[in-house]
Structure formats: structure tokens, C-alpha cells
């Protein structure tokens, strides 16, 4: 009987470990996202995704600062989106 409990414990630990590794994998994928993907996923939550051609490079710089706070993006994500918008206008 004790052996079974031990086995259950081992498999629970294995499952927790596997899902922990899985969560690390997910955050890596977030890091690999391009500016275009981040833009389409984040910038249409509250309003239509803005067209890159709507604003010039300097305007995107300012808008990105405002929208980074609203969207709760990391600096890296915000920079990727800004770069994408500036390269596509
Ligand atoms: C949490 C909601 C929210 C998210 C997410 C969001 N915005 Fe906005 N956005 C707003 C609101 C509200 C306004 C209205 C103007 C203001 O408050 O600055 C706005 C206005 C704008 C404007 C118009 C600015 C102007 O002066 O005409 C642009 C462009 C814009 N957002 C771009 C973006 C981009 C790019 C992203 C993604 C990084 C984004 N938004 C994500 C809420 C959001």
C-alpha cells in the first residue's frame, strides 16, 4: 500500500515538473513573437488595430509610450511593435 502512495506522489511530481517546463516553453514563444504578431494581438483589444501608415515615426514613438502603459507590455514587446509600425509606414 505504501508503494502505491509513493508511486502516486512520484507521478504527481512528474506532472507538476512537466507543466512547469511547459510554462517556460510558453514564455520563450512569447519572446520569439515578431512586432507584427504582438501588434495584431495587443493593439486591437480596445480599438481597431491602427494602420501603420496613419502616423509618422516620431508620432509612433509617442503613441507607443502611451499605449505601452495601457496594454501592459514589456519594454521589449513595445519596442518590437514600434519598430514594426515605423518600418511599415
Ligand atoms: C487598454 C486599452 C488599449 C489598448 C490595449 C491599446 N490602446 Fe490605443 N487607445 C486606447 C484609448 C482609450 C485611446 C484613446 C486616446 C487616449 O486615451 O490616448 C487610444 C488611442 C490610440 C491611438 C490614437 C491616438 C491619437 O492621438 O489619435 C492610437 C494610434 C493607438 N491607440 C495605438 C495603439 C497601439 C499601437 C496599441 C498596441 C501597442 C494600442 N493602441 C493598445 C486604449 C488602448
**What is the whole-number distance in angstroms between the Cα of residue 75 and the centre of ligand 1?**
17
What average pLDDT does the segment 75-79 reach?
95
* Gap from CA of 67 to ligand 1 centroid (Å): 5
Mean pLDDT of 53-59: 97
Confidence band of 5 (pLDDT split at 50, 70, 90):
confident
pLDDT in the model for residue 12: 80
d(CA 16, CA 9): 11
In the structure, what pLDDT confidence band is assigned to residue 27 with cuts at 50, 70 and 90? low
Question: Which set of grid coordinates corresponds to residue 44?
Answer: 486591437
**What grid cell was written down for 70?**
495601457
Instruction: State how far the Cα of 26 lies from the Cα of 16, in Å rounded to an integer.
Output: 15
Which residue's CA lies nearest to atom 24 of ligand 1?
63
Mean pLDDT of the chain, nearest integer: 88
d(C-alpha 31, C-alpha 10), whole Å: 32
Residue keyed to cell 495584431 = 40
More confidently predicted of 20 and 60: 60
Amino acid at each position: 500500500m505504501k508503494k502505491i502512495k509513493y508511486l502516486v506522489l512520484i507521478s504527481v511530481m512528474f506532472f507538476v515538473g512537466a507543466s512547469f517546463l511547459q510554462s517556460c516553453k510558453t514564455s520563450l514563444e512569447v519572446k520569439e513573437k515578431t512586432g507584427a504578431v504582438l501588434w495584431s494581438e495587443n493593439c486591437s483589444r480596445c480599438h481597431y488595430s491602427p494602420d501603420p501608415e496613419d502616423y509618422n515615426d516620431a508620432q509612433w514613438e509617442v503613441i507607443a509610450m502611451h499605449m505601452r502603459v495601457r496594454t501592459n507590455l514589456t519594454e521589449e514587446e513595445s519596442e518590437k511593435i514600434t519598430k514594426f509600425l515605423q518600418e511599415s509606414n
